[in-house]
Amino acid sequence: MTLTGKQARYLRGLGHHLKPVVMVGKDEINAAIIAATDEALTIHELIKVKLQEGCLGDRKDVATELATATGSAVAQILGKNFLLYRESEEKKITLPTTR
């Protein structure tokens, strides 16, 4: 899934006040993290993920790997946090249309 610049900006605005719901630690990406992220995306559509101190992986690599594993898109990578978005069946977020 790919977001346009306009859609990513919109999601960044929505995600600014979110608290991280998934934490990636020293174990980095594993089946439990993927399952938790998948469940959170199904419930919320837009989630914030935090990389903890023990995570040795590059933040961009971790974000891309987790997005690929869950079929979501990376809306933002900022510091040790990143936003993931995946549309659910019950659309909670309406993205701006592309023109």
Closest listed residue to residue 61, CA positions, set 52, 72, 74, 48: 74
The answer to whether residue 98 scores a pLDDT higher than 70 is no
Query: Residue 12: inside a domain, yes or no?
Result: yes
Query: Residue 92: inside a domain, yes or no?
Result: no
Which domain does 71 fall in, by range?
Answer: 5-82
Query: Residue 94: inside a domain, yes or no?
Result: no
Distance CA 15, CA 19 (A): 9
Query: What tens digit of pLDDT does each residue of 2-17 get?
Result: 888 999 999 999 999 9
CATH assignment of the domain containing 30: 3.30.110.60
Query: Residue 89: inside a domain, yes or no?
Result: no
Query: Residue 50: inside a domain, yes or no?
Result: yes
Which carries the bigger pLDDT value, residue 5 or residue 99? 5
Write the single-letter amino acid at 24: V
pTM of the full structure: 0.91
Give me the number of domains the chain comprises.
Answer: 1
Distances (CA, A) of 27 to 3, 30, 69: 29, 7, 16
